[in-house]
Structure 1
Amino acid sequence: MLQRAEYPVALTGVEASRTFFAPCFVSSSTECLWVAHLDEDAHCIHLASYEGDEESVDIPVRSIIGDAIRLDSAGVILAHNHPSGQCTPSRSDKVATRALAIAAEAIDLTVLDHLVFAGPDCTSFRRLGLL
């Protein structure tokens, strides 16, 4: 699902991104992924969401790259939730995010961060040195 952001919010850092994405996961009992497409000034120009199940959500690399090309995105920020309550990125989270980052490099797209939410807690791939 692709949605137009009503106001071009600037996602300039972990706290701004955390505040932006937190409402997306308030009542979610399954994993879901949100992707914010950003312009050169880190303004959110589009949001895409992808549904998962109770234990996982795929990172659809082809869809994200395709949207980025169509939208002329300069960067993306990913956010997904762990209903289990653990905000530590899983091995599959790390592998899939790295695959996206490598594919993104080919089109000059930057994966700026990937946030993992679990209740009120949030972990940043950027802060962990994973991006």
Structure 2
Amino acid sequence: MSRTLGVENLSDKKLLAQVIRHRLSESLAEDLAAELLAKFGSIYAVFNAPKEAFCEIHGLGPSRYFMLQSMLELHKRTLQQAIQRQTLDCSETTAKFLATHLQHHQSECFAVILLNAQNEFLAFKELFRGTISSAPVFPREIVRHVMIYNAANVILAHNHPSGHAEPSECDKMITQRVKDALALIDVRVLDHFVIGVGQTVSFAQRGLI
């Protein structure tokens, strides 16, 4: 492979091969990358694959699975550090950050972004985990974290493991419950994002909040 070729020009197979190539020949790495893509269907699915299924492929193992998960975690931390103390007034930036953190979960996860009075990023917290279709949400726990960080505003978010980002009636009810609880301490809910696979819905943009 030409070293002058930008990574953005590589095929999915060649890019994945570069990630798993450590101590492998280029041809073997590409064969394994092709097998991964054939088994799971996409790069997204490869990174989201269960450890046991990933390691079933001969020539791969826990160390290469850990390598991929480390890359995913680096990407998450890069995005989080990029928005530290920034004003989150762009829904596209917020949606990208949340999608990176939440779309890979195989069960539903409810999270909050805590902001100060200027809507600057204070913290991101994944607070509640559930099943493949729901997660219990306790407003008092969100209030507790708001008090810890002295937040003035919050952005809610959760993923739909099904991949479809359309808000449910339950999503709307939970949003209102959290809004009502936070209103008692003069904290605003600015938005609620529902994260699917390759799609995100903003309650604010839909006029639902």
TM-score w.r.t. length of structure 2? 0.57
Quote the offset at 1:68 in angstroms. 0.9
1:72 partnered with 2:72: no
Say which SS state the counterpart of residue 15 (structure 1) adopts: helix
Asked if 2 retains the 8 angstrom alpha-carbon contact of 1:33 and 1:79, the reply is: yes
Indicate the RMSD between aligned Cα atoms, in angstroms: 1.4
TM-score w.r.t. length of structure 1? 0.89
1:44 partnered with 2:124: no
Counterpart Cα distance in 1 of 2:87 and 2:131: 30
1:120 partnered with 2:192: no
Quote the offset at 1:95 in angstroms. 0.4
Pick one of 71, 78, 82 that aligns with 2:160. Answer: 82
Counterpart Cα distance in 2 of 1:59 and 1:11: 24
- Count of residues paired in the alignment: 127
1:8 partnered with 2:115: no
Quote the offset at 1:76 in angstroms. 0.5
Percent identity at matched positions?
Answer: 31
Question: Residues 87-107 of structure 1: CA distance to partner in whole angstroms, max 9, x if unpaired?
Answer: 111111110110111111111
Of structures 1 and 2, the one scoring higher in RCO (CA 8 A, sep 6+) is: 1
1:109 partnered with 2:158: no
Change (3 A) 1:60 1:13: farther
Say which structure is richer in helix: 2
1:28 partnered with 2:105: yes
Counterpart Cα distance in 2 of 1:13 and 1:129: 16
Say which structure is richer in strand: 1
Deviates more, 1:92-101 or 1:7-16: 7-16
Quote the offset at 1:25 in angstroms. 2.2
Structure 1 runs, 4 residues or longer, greater than 3 Å off: none
Where does the alignment leave 5 or more consecutive residues of structure 2 unmatched?
A: 1-79
Quote the offset at 1:110 in angstroms. 0.5
Asked if 2 retains the 8 angstrom alpha-carbon contact of 1:80 and 1:117, the reply is: yes
Map of 2:69 onto structure 1: none
Change (3 A) 1:26 1:117: closer
Quote the offset at 1:8 in angstroms. 2.3
Counterpart Cα distance in 2 of 1:45 and 1:72: 9
Counterpart Cα distance in 1 of 2:146 and 2:88: 17
Pick one of 159, 167, 174 that aligns with 1:96. Answer: 174
Counterpart Cα distance in 1 of 2:116 and 2:92: 18
Look at both structures and tell me which one has the larger radius of gyration over its CA atoms.
2
Map of 1:129 onto structure 2: 207
Quote the offset at 1:85 in angstroms. 2.0
User: Which residue identity lines up with residue 123 of structure 2 in the other structure?
Assistant: H
